[in-house]
Amino acid sequence: MRIAETSDLWWKNAVIYCLDPETFFDGDGDGTGDFGGLIQRVDYLAALGVTCIWLMPFYPSPDRDDGYDVTDMYGVDPRLGSLGDLVEFIRTANDRGIRVIADFVINHTSDRHPWFVQARKSVDNPYRDYYVWRKDTPPNTSDQVVFPGEETSIWTQDKATGEWYLHMFAKHQPDLNVMNAKVRDEIAKSMGFWLQLGLDGFRLDAVPFFLELLGEPKDEAAKIDPHRYLSALRSFLNRRHGRAVLLGEVNLPYKEQLKYFGGPAGNELNMQFDFLSMQNMYLSLARQDARPLARTLSSRPKINPDNQWAMFVRNHDELTLDKLSDAEREEVFAAFGPDPDMQMYGRGLRRRLPTMLGGDPARIRMVYSLMFSLPGTPVLFYGEEIGMGEDLRAKGRSAVRSPMQWDHTGNGGFSTAPPGDLVAQPVDGPFGPAHINAAAAKRDPDSLWNFIATLIQRYRECPELGWGRFDLIKQAAPAVLLHRCTWDGSTVVAAHNFGAEPASVTAALGAASPQEDEEGAPGRPDAKASAGRSYAGAVLRDLLGGEEIPLSDDGTFEVPLDRYGYRWFRVERPGERHLP
C-alpha cells in the first residue's frame, strides 16, 4: 500500500474531537453556546490538529436528555442557531481541513416528536407502528433498565389507549420500530438530508438497542435479520456520499462487536468505540499493572481492513465500567471515585481524567500518550486538551458537560451572559477556569495543550498506528505496556509505564521479516526484501524528543522509563528515508 492510499479511508488515522455546541462557545451572549460561537473557535481546533469534529445532538429538542430526545430530525434547535449557521460552520471547518460528523439518535425520539404525538392518539393511527407497543401487561423488566434509579421498567402504559410502549431509556424517549419499513425509510431520508448539507457521517447512538427486536412477536422477529438493515444503511451512505463514515456506540464483548462491523465483510459500521480496552485501561491504572489492558488488546478479533476501532479515555456519558467484574469495578471505584457521589448507576464514574489522577501531570500525559499510540483512531472529548475537571454539583452525566474554559475571566470566557443565565455553570475550584483555561495553555510551551498537539502531529505522521498490525512485545516488567505497530515495512514501537516507580525494560523485536500490515492484509511486495536482514546499525529513533536507542543485530534493546513514563520510537535502519 502507498501512503497516498491512506486518504481513501480518512477515518483510519483521523483525530476526532467531540463537542456540544450548547456548551462550547456562546457567540450571541444569551448564555447558551451556538453555531455562531463555534465558527469563531474552528481555528482553535485547527491549531490543535483536529481533523474531524463530532457534534453532539443539535436538533430541536425539549432538552430533557441533553438533546438526545429529538423532536425534528431535519432541524437545528433555535437556541443554537439555524440551518444556515450550521452550513456556515461546516464550510468553515472544511476550509481548515476538518471534516464534520454528527450524533444521530437512531434508537428513539422524544415523546413530543410529531410521530409519537400522533401514534398515541389511537391504535389505528398511521404512525402507531412507528413505535413498539404491547396490549398485555408487561413482566417485571427492572433488570433491563438502562438508567437504574431513574426508571423502573422499559414499558410505560399510555393513558389514551391503555397500551404500553417500549422505551429502553427514559419514558419520554419512546423506541422506534426498526421492523417498520417506513421508519427505516425516514431514517435514511434524514441522513441523506444531512449528508447533502455537508456532513461526512454520523456517530450512531445506542446501536444494539435500535436493532433489538424486543416486543415483536417471536415468529415475526425470527424472519428478520436486523444486521441486514444496518448493512443496507451503510450501502445507502456509500451511494449518497462515498466517504461518509458510521461510527457506532456498541458497548458489547468483542465477539458481538464483530457482528456490528459486518463480520469479515466489514460492511456495516465503519468504526466502533473500543469500550473493553478503555475499561481495562482504567483497571490497569488502578493496579499500576499493564497486564489487564495487554490481555484485552490481545483478545481483539481481526477486523476488515476498511474498519477501525475508536480509542478514547473519556466520553460525554458516565465512564462505564460495566464489562469489568464486580470486584474489578470496585478496585477502580476505590482508586478513582470512592465517594458515592462520584459514581453513577452502580457501573460508572462521572469524573474526568485529571481529577481522577489527582492532577499528576506525568500520569495524565502517559494516559494520553497511550491513547494516541494504541492501534485505532483517537477521540478527544472537549476540554481534555487543557485538563478540565468535572463539576460534581451538576446532576448525573452533566458533571462532565460543563462549559468549555476559554480564559480566566467571568464564566471562563464561555459567555458574556449573567451567570444565572448560563446553560451550565463553569467548574469551580482548582480545576476551574481561573487555573485551567485554553488561553493560558496555548501560550505555555509546557502545557498539556501543547503536549497533546504534539501527540496529534506525531500520530498523523505515523500511519503505522492507524493502519498497521499491532503486536505486544514481551518483556518482564508488569507495569509496562510495550507494543509495536508495523505497516508498509515500517515499525513504530511504544512503551508506557503504568507504575509510580521508574522502570527499565529489555526486549527484542525478533527476526527482521515482513509482517502483515493492516489486519489480515499482506505487506507490500517490496517489503519482503527485508526478510532475513539483521538490525545491524539500526536504532530506535525517539519521536517525542528523547534520545535514540541502539538496536543489537538481533533486535534487542533496553528502554529506560520514568515514573509514568512514555516513549515512542520508529525503527530506523541506515539509508532509510523516514520523515524527519
State residue 5's pLDDT score.
Answer: 76
Instruction: Please report the sign of the dihedral spanned by the C-alpha atoms of residue 445, residue 448, residue 453, residue 457.
Output: positive
Burial of 526 (0-12, 13-18, 19+ CB in 10 A): exposed
Q: SS3 of 324, please?
A: coil
State residue 222's pLDDT score.
Answer: 59
- Tens digits of residue pLDDT in 359-369: 999 999 999 99
State residue 519's pLDDT score.
Answer: 45
What's the length of the chain? 580
- Tens digits of residue pLDDT in 408-420: 999 999 999 999 9
Rounded Cα gap, residues 58 and 34, in angstroms: 9
State residue 99's pLDDT score.
Answer: 98
Rounded Cα gap, residues 236 and 191, in angstroms: 9
Q: Judging by DSSP bridges, how do beta strands 556-561 and 503-508 pair with one another? A: antiparallel
User: Residue 74 carries which side chain, given as an amino acid letter?
Assistant: Y
State residue 218's pLDDT score.
Answer: 66
pTM to 2 decimals?
Answer: 0.95
| Strand residue runs (E) in 76-219 | 99-104, 133-134, 155-157, 164-166, 201-204
What would the mean pLDDT of 239-262 be, rounded to a whole number? Answer: 96
- Tens digits of residue pLDDT in 308-320: 999 999 999 999 9
Backbone φ and ψ of 14, nearest 5°: -80, 170
Report whether pLDDT(113) > 90: yes
Q: Which of 78-82, 275-279, 388-392, 511-515 has the lowest mean pLDDT?
A: 511-515
pLDDT band of 387, cuts 50, 70, 90:
very high
CA nearest 500: which of 420, 425, 565? 565
Report whether pLDDT(3) > 90: no
What would the mean pLDDT of 175-199 be, rounded to a whole number? Answer: 96
Torsion, Cα 436 438 442 446, to 10 degrees, reads: 20
What would the mean pLDDT of 497-505 be, rounded to a whole number? Answer: 98
pLDDT: is 528 or 356 the higher one? 356
Residue 429's CB: how many other CB atoms inside 10 A?
12
Rounded Cα gap, residues 261 and 250, in angstroms: 10
Rounded Cα gap, residues 165 and 134, in angstroms: 7
Rounded Cα gap, residues 225 and 214, in angstroms: 13
Rounded Cα gap, residues 308 and 376, in angstroms: 6
Phi-psi region of 196 (alpha: psi -120 to 50; beta: other; left: phi over 0): alpha
What would the mean pLDDT of 124-152 be, rounded to a whole number? Answer: 95
Q: How many H-runs (helices) and E-runs (strands) does the chain carry?
A: 18, 22
Report whether pLDDT(219) > 90: no
What would the mean pLDDT of 527-534 be, rounded to a whole number? Answer: 48
pLDDT band of 530, cuts 50, 70, 90:
very low
Contact in structure between 542 and 548 (CB atoms under 8 Å): yes
Average per-residue pLDDT in the chain? 93
State residue 555's pLDDT score.
Answer: 94
Supply the DSSP symbol for 387. T
Report whether pLDDT(534) > 70: yes
Contact in structure between 540 and 493 (CB atoms under 8 Å): yes
pLDDT band of 122, cuts 50, 70, 90:
very high
Supply the DSSP symbol for 300. P
What would the mean pLDDT of 319-342 be, rounded to a whole number? Answer: 97
State residue 215's pLDDT score.
Answer: 67
Residue 159's CB: how many other CB atoms inside 10 A?
6
Contact in structure between 495 and 477 (CB atoms under 8 Å): no
- Tens digits of residue pLDDT in 5-51: 788 899 999 999 999 999 999 999 999 999 999 999 999 999 999 99
Rounded Cα gap, residues 497 and 533, in angstroms: 31
pLDDT: is 549 or 518 the higher one? 549
What would the mean pLDDT of 160-183 be, rounded to a whole number? Answer: 95
Report whether pLDDT(518) > 60: no
Rounded Cα gap, residues 520 and 275, in angstroms: 23
Residues sharing a CB contact under 8 Å with residue 285, sequence separation 6 or more, in sequence order: 335, 336, 357, 363, 367, 498
Q: Judging by DSSP bridges, how do beta strands 52-55 and 16-19 pair with one another? A: parallel
State residue 510's pLDDT score.
Answer: 78
Contact in structure between 480 and 495 (CB atoms under 8 Å): yes
What would the mean pLDDT of 267-291 be, rounded to a whole number? Answer: 98
What would the mean pLDDT of 202-219 be, rounded to a whole number? Answer: 82
What would the mean pLDDT of 72-96 be, rounded to a whole number? Answer: 98
Q: Among all residues, which ones are annotated catalytic?
A: 205, 249
Report whether pLDDT(552) > 70: yes
Cell of 321: 465500567
Contact in structure between 491 and 527 (CB atoms under 8 Å): no
Residue 162's CB: how many other CB atoms inside 10 A?
9
- Tens digits of residue pLDDT in 442-469: 999 999 999 999 999 999 999 999 999 9
Report whether pLDDT(131) > 60: yes
State residue 524's pLDDT score.
Answer: 36
